[in-house]
Chains A and B, each alone.
Chain A
């Protein structure tokens, strides 16, 4: 993993000291709330419904066990003993005081963690494939490039007061576990015909009020030019992005209004003007960073699978967990294990301090001290020996984190919604809890198969409802919570935006509607057909008929 050198540390310490001063000046009245707000947001500090909320970056989704322990410590010391992992691979602490935030940032800095640019109209902390460095289908480790982008974008003198927030995601695998096409800039690592490493650049994706799947604007960008190209794209956006209307200020609107071709031309023109050496990525630096992410030698173990088979013979729960919650590792005999933060009836993404500590210990014991955070609000232990899976599973089960539901109907993404968020129209968490209770039976879940339900409490779409197979959006109808249902979204390589099925439902109604949608699918599917496949084959109408014709 990347560890900070003295220069990284110097900058981080100076950032903490700067924020401490800013808080002092705010309290003394030298800064007004209007002036202070963007400054605190750039340090991850929001004012939410009940208190301040601090959003801490999990750098491109990778954590060490010590970093996880620090989260546990923060949760216990400054919060109410828990934290919430978000759809941007971050963690949020919900009950924070302004006065103690500089101390929290100081504590975090001791393990190279920070809240820099986790909010505000700036380049947000970069996100990446949570299976990076472990996945069998990976071309190159996206964290190497994410770290380079993190450095370049941190306290950027020119791009810290943009028209709106700016999110960059990187994937090194075809499967796209980072939903890159729903980002302002999505980068996919590719090789060209000559075998050189580079990126496909997608620009102008996003959810929210006007959702877009990002168009490809550069089919191949040599890796060393990545910062030069980002610099060009950001300059075009900073100068020409709309600032008159918050709902039209994202780069997706600029790309859409200019057209992808024209936008691409504008960026290329700016790119050409930039001195190629100024931001050329230094190969030595790439190697320095790459070395830090390199996987130590792991001895392949081709017999492990047979041993696991035997253990699974003995335990059906273990078998189910292995089926859904483990993935193929690039080293035979190892596995990537998903730690579900979606227990039946729980709050998606929440983890208690004790759970965090235990996961950290398990990471030390079974996963080379590494933990990942997914945008689907789960944790991952990326390097587990297949032979250790039964032990890991049993240990996770002890702390209620062994739910065998990764990718299934109860692996629900839900934003904090009206229970915590000031922008919300409706609650999200109680819906997630009720749906998960309704489908608690694991046999039934496994029978239903892969299905993403995603819930947002308002059109900002932090719950990624546009990209859910089943999406639920909370709206406010004359002071009453109402939920809209969308079908057909996809957050993977084949990103797609779901379509609204019809008029909204109240809370009970939406639970019934989800049940009916799933029942309709089960009735229509052919053998082995997933929900998405059935939906694609039959279209929306059978679902619509079932939901609206008899009511």
Chain B
């Protein structure tokens, strides 16, 4: 099984993914993919970043088998792509309804 590490930035709250060389990126595509064996180390990187007050709530996102890498759970895909509902409810933005 493979994973990426995700968290939220402390200051902005935005979702980030752990990229190579311990950077955090807003882009899921930048995320470094860890195998089950590497997961323990990956968690530690996440926790170190929390200790340094860069990010909060770091955790491992399980990926679907195959490429391209996509999260397995719906919750994690929603984190990746945003809410599945309206770009702020466009239907209420328009003119009068029927």
Contacts and interface: CB of A to CB of B under 8 A. Distances in A.
B5 to A, nearest CB: 16
Given A98-B11, A343-B97, A418-B75, A29 B53 contact: yes
A133 to B, nearest CB: 28
Given A33-B56, A98-B10, A49 B84 contact: no
A390 interface: no
Contacts of A82: 88-89
B85 A347 contact: yes
B92 A419 contact: no
Interface in B39-72: 50, 52-53, 56-57, 72
Contacts, number: 106
A512 interface: no
Contacts of A352: 88-89, 92-93
Contact of B13 (A96, A355, A433): A96
B55 to A, nearest CB: 10
A437 B84 CA distance: 17
Contacts of A33: 10, 50, 56
A97 B96 contact: no
Contacts of A98: 10-13
Interface of B: 8, 10-15, 50, 52-53, 56-57, 72-75, 78-79, 82-86, 88-89, 91-98
A343 B13 contact: no
A433 B96 contact: no
B75, B78, B93: which has the most chain A beta carbons within 10 Å?
B75
20 contacts: A47-B8, A47-B13, A50-B14, A52-B13, A80-B88, A81-B88, A97-B13, A98-B12, A99-B11, A344-B97, A344-B98, A346-B89, A347-B85, A352-B92, A397-B97, A400-B96, A400-B97, A419-B85, A424-B75, A427-B85
A33 B15 CA distance: 17
A135 to B, nearest CB: 28
A397 B84 CA distance: 27
Contacts of A49: 15, 75, 78-79
Contacts of B83: 50, 419-420, 429
A362 B8 CA distance: 40
A27 B10 contact: yes
Contacts of B86: 346-347
Contacts of A419: 78, 83-85
Contacts of B13: 47, 50-52, 96-98
B14 A51 contact: yes
A345 interface: yes
Given A33-B10, A344-B98, A346-B86, 8 more contacts: A47-B57, A346-B91, A398-B95, A400-B94, A402-B96, A418-B78, A424-B75, A427-B74
Contacts of A26: 10, 53
A362 to B, nearest CB: 15
Contacts of B56: 33, 47
Nearest to B83: A419
B96 A398 contact: yes
Interface in A67-100: 80-82, 96-99
B92 A346 contact: yes
A430 interface: yes
A329 B44 CA distance: 62
A479 B71 CA distance: 12
Interface string A44-69: 00010111100000000000000000
A403 interface: yes
A351 interface: yes
A430 B85 contact: yes
Given A51-B13, A346-B92, A400-B92, A27 B53 contact: yes
A270 interface: no
> 3 closest Cβ contacts across the A-B interface?
A52-B13, A419-B83, A51-B13
A351 B92 contact: yes
A481 interface: yes
